[in-house]
Amino acid sequence: MNRLLRQLHLFEEIFSAFQAAFPDDPLTVQAMPIDETFVTLAPEHIHEACEILVERFDFYHLSTITGLDTGAAVELFYHFWNAYGITLRTALPYTALRIATLTDFIPGAAFYERELYTMLGVVFEGHVNLQPLLQPDDWDGSHPLRKT
């Protein structure tokens, strides 16, 4: 029970830090199974929100970034972990598949961003080596996980 209380307390703090930093963003929070919390943010706030999580709340571990084509937009999920899981989610419209890179303060994000760049065509602005990660040398530039 202590663990649950600590988690609730911590996430309240994180949520108020987000609210203070992005007053105009209609943040939504969702509790998910297996100790995970999802927070939805606008794409332009992701970089700063990740910085808050890493610098202020010590969520140093970025587990991975998931990309998902819903058919209407490309959703990105930034899964962080430090004793509890927290996922920041955002949606990019097809017309603007661009988002700021996290590699400037989390160098471990480099491979995840390269993979998403080829699989879904999301451009990570500021990534120093945005090359295909898994595609062959004669890759035709198509994105295997895109629906349209």
Task: List residues near another protein by CB under 8 A.
Answer: 3, 32-36, 38, 60-64, 66-68, 77, 79, 81, 83, 85, 87, 106-112, 119, 132-136, 144-145
Q: Which of 67/127 has CB closer to another protein?
A: 67
Q: How far is the CB of 69 from another protein (least distance, A)?
A: 8
Q: Which of 19/94 has CB closer to another protein?
A: 94
Residues 6+ apart with CB under 8 A from 134: 115, 118
Q: How far is the CB of 34 from another protein (least distance, A)?
A: 5
CA distance 114 to 124: 8
Q: Which of 20/111 has CB closer to another protein?
A: 111
Q: How far is the CB of 127 from another protein (least distance, A)?
A: 13
Q: How far is the CB of 15 from another protein (least distance, A)?
A: 18
Q: Which of 99/106 has CB closer to another protein?
A: 106
* Class of residue 73 by CB neighbours under 10 A (exposed 0-12, middle 13-18, buried 19+): middle
> Can you spell out the DSSP letters for 92-143?
E-GGG-EEE-STTT-GGGHHHHHHHHHHH--EEET-TT---SSS-TT--S--
| 8 Å CB contact between 80 and 62 | yes
